[in-house]
């Protein structure tokens, strides 16, 4: 950065109350704010929900992750973290602004209305010379074609009167603050001075590597990362379907295939949940100009496979229930979208529970991390969930579930119950455990069912 740029930056820094303003205090924004506050940055978070803001200012985290809970409490008491609903004031009093608002999928299309609204508000309030970093997931070209023009309309020029960068988040619920601090990051910018500013800031809060590129490439990388994982999972689920038709055990096939030094097949399961893998592939597909090519894409087929895996689970449940009594109680074990987290967004359990309730079953749900039940009755513990049930379904591979004794579980269930393992949490090869019939997704026991 030249001397004039440093002078401008120095002047901005002297006139501000905060080092960092984080717009949006959700699953990405709050860990981001905590990461900066933990490194001694004076950080203010902005959110439209008064209850979230008031809770943080009392030192209470709206997210249950242990590291986040601890950091919010400590950072607030030490004066490094605060929250407000007054976006314009917070932005005007900050050296750098990080925008971390949602970009949800609605009716199959990604909506950027929350992001554009946030950018307009930030552009109306920032001081000359401020750094703006966008971390929200967006379609390729959004930073250059939509975000930068919003600031230009306010008279700001990238690399001169303000500095703009795109740095997609790489965190996952459950360990988000540690991942923010320790994962490699991609930093996209279209002006060298803006890139210097962003890199200087992120180097002070990131323990790992920072890779520089342009904004369109950075936006595309983020989508490709998550889409690749979705496709990998879809392949595992397709393998599961094929193995079931053949009559061989999927889990054994994958285990043996993975002994090859260049093969690493993932685990099949009831579907893909969470806010990213279920959305980002569609965002990437929007980049196709030809709708026909988009419809033929392996990415779209992967989405179809993963979105409909719950139907395979339902077939196993219905087949199992046809072999037992007319007892209508079913226990669903796990409502989070993945193991060891309390996040229920787009969880495959939602579709399964909805179908079972629609079919008239008495559905009970238990998850040691997640309180969401999707309309099922909430069980206080595992025993209450399975007591008197004719069927229980493992929908999430929480470690605590892998420690459950199926034999002991059967003592609380109805006589000759069925256990459906949709996540491969039970030992391979067991079809019967005492009086319990075990049906595993992708297992030999599912042959002829799916």
- As annotated, the active-site residues are 222, 276
- Residues with Cβ within 8 Å of 418's Cβ and at least 6 positions away in sequence, in order, are 317, 320, 321, 323, 324, 390, 391, 392, 436, 437, 438, 439
- Tokens for 102, please give them: 């949602």
Report how far residue 118's alpha carbon sits from residue 177's, in angstroms, rounded to the nearest whole number.
23
Using CA atoms, how far residue 290 sits from 216, 284, 297, 304, 404, in Å, is 20, 13, 11, 19, 50
Contact between 16 and 127 under an 8 Å Cβ cutoff? The reply is yes
DSSP track, 36-77: HHHTT--EEEE-S-HHHHHHHHTT--SS--HHHHHHHHHHHH
- How many residues in total does the chain contain? 450
Report how far residue 67's alpha carbon sits from residue 16's, in angstroms, rounded to the nearest whole number.
28
Of 311, 283, 293, nearest to 110 by C-alpha is 283
Which value, to the nearest 10 degrees, does the dihedral of the CA atoms of residues 229, 231, 235, 241 take?
Answer: 110
Q: Where are the alpha helices (DSSP H) in 124-257?
A: 142, 148-152, 176-182, 192-203, 215-246, 250-257
Report how far residue 433's alpha carbon sits from residue 89's, in angstroms, rounded to the nearest whole number.
63
Chain centre distance of CA 382: 26
Pairing of strands 418-421, 391-394: parallel
Of 301, 167, 241, nearest to 446 by C-alpha is 241
Angle between helices 66-78 and 29-38 (to 10 degrees): 50
Contact between 217 and 107 under an 8 Å Cβ cutoff? The reply is no
């Amino acid at each position: 950065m030249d001397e004039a740029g440093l002078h401008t930056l120095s002047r901005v820094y002297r006139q501000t109350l905060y080092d960092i303003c984080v717009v949006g205090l959700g699953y990405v924004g709050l860990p981001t704010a905590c990461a900066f506050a933990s490194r001694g940055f004076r950080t203010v978070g902005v959110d439209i929900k008064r209850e979230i803001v008031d809770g943080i200012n009392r030192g209470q985290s709206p997210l249950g992750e242990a590291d986040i809970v601890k950091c919010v409490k400590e950072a607030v008491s030490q004066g490094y973290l605060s929250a407000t609903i007054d976006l314009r004031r917070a932005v005007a009093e900050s050296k750098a602004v990080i925008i971390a608002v949602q970009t949800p999928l609605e009716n199959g299309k990604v909506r950027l209305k929350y992001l554009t609204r946030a950018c307009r508000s930030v552009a109306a309030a920032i001081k000359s010379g401020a750094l703006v970093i966008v971390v929200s997931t967006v379609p390729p070209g959004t930073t250059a074609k939509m975000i930068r023009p919003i600031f230009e309309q306010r008279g700001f020029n990238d690399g001169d009167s303000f500095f703009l960068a795109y740095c997609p988040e790489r965190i996952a619920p459950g360990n988000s603050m540690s991942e923010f601090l320790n994962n490699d990051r991609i930093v996209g910018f279209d002006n060298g001075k803006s890139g210097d500013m962003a890199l200087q800031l992120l180097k002070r809060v990131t323990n790992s590597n920072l890779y520089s590129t342009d904004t369109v490439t950075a936006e595309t990388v983020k989508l490709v990362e998550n889409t690749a994982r979705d496709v990998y999972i879809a392949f595992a689920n397709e393998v599961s379907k094929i193995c079931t038709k053949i009559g061989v055990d999927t889990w054994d096939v994958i285990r043996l295939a993975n002994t090859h030094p260049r093969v690493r097949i993932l685990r099949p399961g009831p579907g893909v949940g969470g806010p990213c893998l279920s959305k980002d592939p569609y965002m990437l597909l929007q980049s196709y100009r030809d709708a026909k090519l988009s419809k033929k894409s392996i990415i779209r087929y992967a989405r179809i496979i993963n979105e409909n895996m719950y139907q395979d689970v339902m077939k196993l449940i219905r087949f199992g229930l046809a072999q037992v009594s007319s007892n209508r109680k079913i226990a669903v074990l796990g409502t989070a979208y993945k193991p060891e987290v309390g996040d229920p967004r787009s969880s495959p359990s939602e579709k399964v529970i909805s179908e079972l309730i629609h079919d008239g079953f008495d559905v009970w749900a238990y998850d040691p991390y997640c309180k969401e039940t999707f309309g099922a009755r909430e069980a206080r513990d595992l025993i209450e969930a399975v007591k008197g049930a004719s069927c229980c379904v493992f929908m999430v591979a929480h470690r605590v579930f892998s420690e459950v004794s199926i034999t002991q579980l059967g003592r609380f269930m109805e006589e000759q119950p069925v256990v459906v393992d949709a996540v491969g949490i039970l030992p391979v090869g067991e079809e019967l455990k005492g009086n319990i019939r075990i049906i595993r997704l992708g297992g030999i026991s599912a042959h002829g069912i799916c």
